[in-house]
Amino acid sequence: MSEFDQIFVTLKHWLLGQLANVVPGALLPVLSALLSIAAIIMVFATLFAIMTILERKGLGRIQNRFGPNRVGPFGFLQPAADGIKALIKEDLVPRAADKVVHLLAPVMLVVPALLVYAVLPIGRNMVAIDFDAGLLFFFAVGAASELAVFMAGWSSRNKYALLGAMRAVAQMVSYEIPLILSTVSVVMITGTLSPVKMVEAQVGQGGWLPAWFVFTPWGFAGFVLFMIAANAEANRSPFDLPEGESELVAGYFTEYSGFKFALFFLAEYLGLFAVSGLGITLFLGGWQAPFPALEFIPSWAWFFAKLLGLIVLFIWTRGTLPRLRVDQLMNFAWKFMLPLALINLLTAAVWHYMPPGSPRWLVCSGMVVGPYVLLGRGLLAGKHVAKRIYRYAE
């Protein structure tokens, strides 16, 4: 592969080689780990800054207004201004709050959000730790953030915060099941839990399409389920009940200010990038180019191009869909997504055992579309679905 593709790997090796002359050899593994950590924190924190401005401008466009346009050219220095503001703001802690837990909660939220990047392959040979059980690590560490959300809501001693935390935890626990089940089909097909090997399993072309899993019936269904569940895990619209402004002020982080408030946003967006990165790794071929002719573009650039694509999708969804009700949210997870995810496992098994060809496509597509239509119709049966008529508020 081209040198440009491996430029960061080469750079790290060169730096370590230079450092080997200065520091004792026992420290080198630690320094190597620190270099990877520094790169991950810098890159994804910058991406966070870029996304905040993209999101505010994108939402502004969708809502027919300008969005931030005063700080710097086209308002693109707004994140810097926001960061400085968050740093110099007074840090308010309610008198009744549980001080220790209140302080620990935002930290506990950011740490797992950063830890999960350790197993994401963001380019060829670019993964911090190649765990055998990488996928398990991702979900195990991600599960720790639920407790942090609860800590934030409970320690604030505020009704809105506690209600928001209860909603958030219930929602994250519910949507974790379809999230994990939709990835199990990929584990079944590739026979590994390592994200690096999952990317390697999607090398090459299948017909005129790249051999990415999203271009198979079960992979497409799995990807859609995964993205919906990821949206809910990140507490973003239309699943933003835990922080629904019109009901709960700001949900579980109502009583936070200054930089702790910024940490909540950072953790939320870092979690969103991480779960999108996992979706890319599992279904969209990871860092691979879609066609061999495009392989001159380095692998990390492909990863971030796909990531930006998914981010735009998330912003678009947020600007388009209204918020769900609590019962709708739970019904959707348990009665619709869970059965579809289970059926998708069966579809993946059928796909694996049928010989390649059009019968396989036909059968598996039927197994995806059929349950979707039947389940959707069945759940809507007997329900009155029509334009809502407002009797008093018009």
Partner 1 sequence: MTPAFLIIAVLTIVAAAGAMTLRNLIHCALAVAVAFVGLAAAYLQLNAQFVGFAQILVYVGAVAIVIVFAALLTRGGEPSSEAIFSKTWFAGLGVTIAVLGVLTWAITRSVVTQRETAPAPEVTVKQIGDALMTKYVLPLEVIGLLLTAALIGAVIIAMRDEVKK
Where on the chain is the footprint of partner 1 (CB under 8 A)? 98, 101, 131-133, 136-137, 139-141, 143-144, 146-147, 150-151, 154, 157, 162, 166, 169, 173, 176-177, 192-193, 334-335, 338-339, 342
Nearer to partner 1, 130 or 295 (CB): 130
d(CA 66, CA 72): 15
Q: Which is nearer to partner 1, 107 or 133 (CB)?
A: 133
Instruction: List Cα–Cα distances, 181 to 120, 174, 242, in angstroms.
Output: 19, 12, 23
72 or 339, CB closer to partner 1? 339
Residue 54 beta carbon to partner 1: minimum distance, rounded to whole angstroms: 31
In eight-state DSSP terms, residue 236 is: -
> 3-state DSSP call for residue 210?
strand
CB of 211 to partner 1, least distance (A): 23
Q: How far is the CB of 135 from partner 1 (least distance, A)?
A: 9
| Shorter beta-carbon distance to partner 1: residue 49 or 119 | 119
Nearer residue to partner 1 within complex by CB, 183 or 299: 183
Distance CA 303, CA 198 (A): 14
* Min dist. Cβ of residue 319 to partner 1 (A): 31
Q: Which residue has the tokens 């993205």?
A: 227
CB of 336 to partner 1, least distance (A): 10
User: 39 or 144, CB closer to partner 1?
Assistant: 144
Phi and psi dihedrals of 123, rounded to 5? Answer: 175, 175
Q: Are strands 205-206 and 209-210 parallel, antiparallel or unpaired?
A: antiparallel
Closest CA to 91 of 78, 102, 107, 79: 102
Q: Is the dihedral of CA 377, 378, 383, 388 positive or negative?
A: negative
Closer residue to partner 1 in complex, CB, 51/179: 179
- Which are the contacts of 68, defined by CB distance < 8 A and separation ≥ 6? 53, 56, 57, 60, 75, 78
Q: Minimum CB separation from partner 1 for residue 95, in Å?
A: 15
Indicate the helix (H) or strand (E) that contains 177.
helix 159-190
Which residue carries 């017909």 as its tokens?
207
- Kindly state the smallest distance separating residue 161's Cβ from partner 1, in Å: 12
Please check whether residue 255 is in contact with residue 340, taking contact to mean a CB–CB distance below 8 angstroms. Answer: no
